[in-house]
Structures are given as C-alpha cells and as structure tokens.
Amino acid sequence: MTSATLDPAGYGARPRDSRQSGRAWRAARVTVLSEFYERGRVASTLFMLSTRAALTYWLWHALYASTTSSAGLNVRQATTYAMLGVFYIAFRTVNRWAARDTMVQLMLEGTIAYWFLRPVSPRRYYAIRASGDLAYGTGWAVLAYCVCLAGGLVEPPVSTRAGLATLASLALGLVILYYLKLLIDLACFWTTVNFQLMIMYEIVQNVLAGALVPLWFFPAWFTSFDRLLPFQGTLNVPLSLYIGRTPVSQLGGDLAVQAIWIVVLALLSTLVWRRAAERVTVLGG
C-alpha cells in the first residue's frame, strides 16, 4: 500500500482542458436538482418563507400600533426592512444535510478526500456549489419580494439611486457571507464536527448584521463598533440604503469597509485552504 499526500497548496489537481473546466460548472445544478427531485423540500421552503414573512409583517405593525414613528422610521419603513431581512435569509435556505453534502458529513465519512482527487480543485468546487446555492436562494428571495411588492406589503426603494446602491452593497455583502461560511466549514479539518461553531456563528451573524433586531435600536457605541466588522455589511448596510435610513452619499465609505473585509477574508481563506490540504492524506494500493 502506498500513501500520497495531497497538494499542499490546497488547490488540488488542475482541470485538464477547457472543456473539462466548463463541465465543472455543471456541479452548480446539483443544488437545484436535489431540491426539485424532492418536492417536499420545495413545499417546506415555501411554507417557512411565507410563515416568516407573515409573522414579521404582523409583528412590526403590532409594535407600531401606538406610535407613528420610532428611531426615526415609520411603520412602512420598519416593516419593509424586517421583511427584506426575511427574504435575505432566503439566500441561505438551502439545506444540504438531507443530501449528505455538508462538509461536516464528508469529514465524518472520510469522503472529503475525493475533493482533492478530482480534476477540479476543492476551492473551485466549493465555490461552484456555493454559486448554485446562491442562485437557488436568489430565486426564492426575488419571488417573495415581487409578490410582496405587488401586494403593497413592502415599499419600493426610496429612489433609483438608493436601489442601485442597495444592489452594489448587497453584492459585496453576499461575497462576505460566502467567505465567512467557508471559514466555518474549513474549521472541520481541525475540529471534524463544527456544530457548536456553526451555532455561535449564526447567533453572532444574526445579531451583528441586524437580522434579529434592527441595529438602530442598539446604543450608538455598539453600532459604531459594529460598522468596522464584516457582519453589518451583509444585511444592515444594504437594507438601510433601501429604506432611506442611510443616505446614498455614505455609500463610498460602506463599500470601502466591505471591500477591505472581502480582501482580508479571501486571503485568510486561501491560507486556511493550504493548511487544510496538508492535513489530508489518501491511502491507496
């Protein structure tokens, strides 16, 4: 029996030709196909998204029942922020657990080694699958947004410029989310099981991003500190631009913070990928 330690650079084998490289992107379809082959998962996603949206709408209207303005926002603005937050979470609705395709499951089964033996590098394969997840989640989010916008449950952006600024900030925020989730998954190479770390990440992400409670209800020192972290840029920044709480003139500074964090997280993930590859050894005869 011989042993071969995988590429320590963390990139794995390279695609042999352009056709093989193009075929690698077919892996992005796995997410959508696995969901639609099991109709129950689609129905449950629709039910949970509709329920969350309805409860959020009723909750914020109840909170504003005795006042017309709170923290400088009226009920329409606050409800729109909260509803868009629900739709934003739809970007993360894909559950790979049923398909046994989470990194922690692959680590427990030992099949993570196949990622390093494919013609496609593990980093690229992970990015492709994440792209498929994002595309699927985007479909749900856009559908829910269009239905609620047509029904008058959410407000349109305060201006065309605010709408474009929201899209720009949202795009960078999704990249930040990708790298944060990647780092949590890569922790499996050292912990094998990352359940507790994932729970901690979800709590921190939801609080500091303003998903549970809008950040304008927190003290000024908290929001000022949070602005320097990557989390606020994933949710609060784009949604605040959308409802007009943050002026478009402030966009440059917010985008700069987001861009800096993307560079930092990208460099960190590259380093962690290299260290992870050094920990994987494949035995064969």
Which of 266, 234, 260, 268 minimizes the C-alpha distance to 92?
234
pLDDT at 252: 93
Residue 274 structure tokens: 């290299």
* Element at 4 (helix H, strand E): strand 2-5
Cα–Cα separations (whole angstroms), residue 45 to 42, 93, 256: 5, 7, 35
Q: How many domains does the chain have?
A: 1
At 22 the pLDDT is 63
Q: How many Å is the Cα radius of gyration of the chain?
A: 21
Quick one: pLDDT at residue 213?
A: 82
The C-alpha atoms of residue 3 and residue 284 are separated, in whole angstroms, by 6
- Please give the helix or strand (H or E) that residue 283 lies within, else none: strand 281-284
Contact 2, 284 (CB under 8 A): yes
Give the Cβ contact number of residue 253 at 10 Å: 11
> What pLDDT does residue 4 have?
40
Question: Given the structure tokens 């900030």, which residue do they identify?
Answer: 169
What one-character-per-residue DSSP string does 93-115 give? ----TTTT-SHHHHHHHTGGGGG
pLDDT of residue 214: 87
Q: Domain of 227?
A: 2-284
Backbone dihedral angles phi then psi of residue 283, each to the nearest 5 degrees = -105, 140
Residue type, 167: L
pLDDT at 281: 54
The tokens of 243 are what?
């409802």
pLDDT (tens place) for every residue of the chain, 285 residues total: 334 444 544 444 444 455 555 677 777 787 778 777 777 778 888 888 899 899 999 999 998 988 888 878 889 999 999 999 888 877 766 667 766 778 888 888 888 888 888 788 889 989 998 888 888 888 888 999 999 999 999 999 999 999 999 999 999 999 999 999 999 999 988 888 888 898 899 889 989 998 878 888 888 899 888 988 999 999 999 999 999 999 999 999 999 999 999 999 999 999 999 988 887 654 443
Kindly give the residue spans of alpha helices, DSSP state H, lying in 64-159. 75-89, 103-109, 122-150
**Per-residue pLDDT at 99:** 65
Residue length of the chain: 285
Nearest to 245 by CA among 254, 253, 236: 236
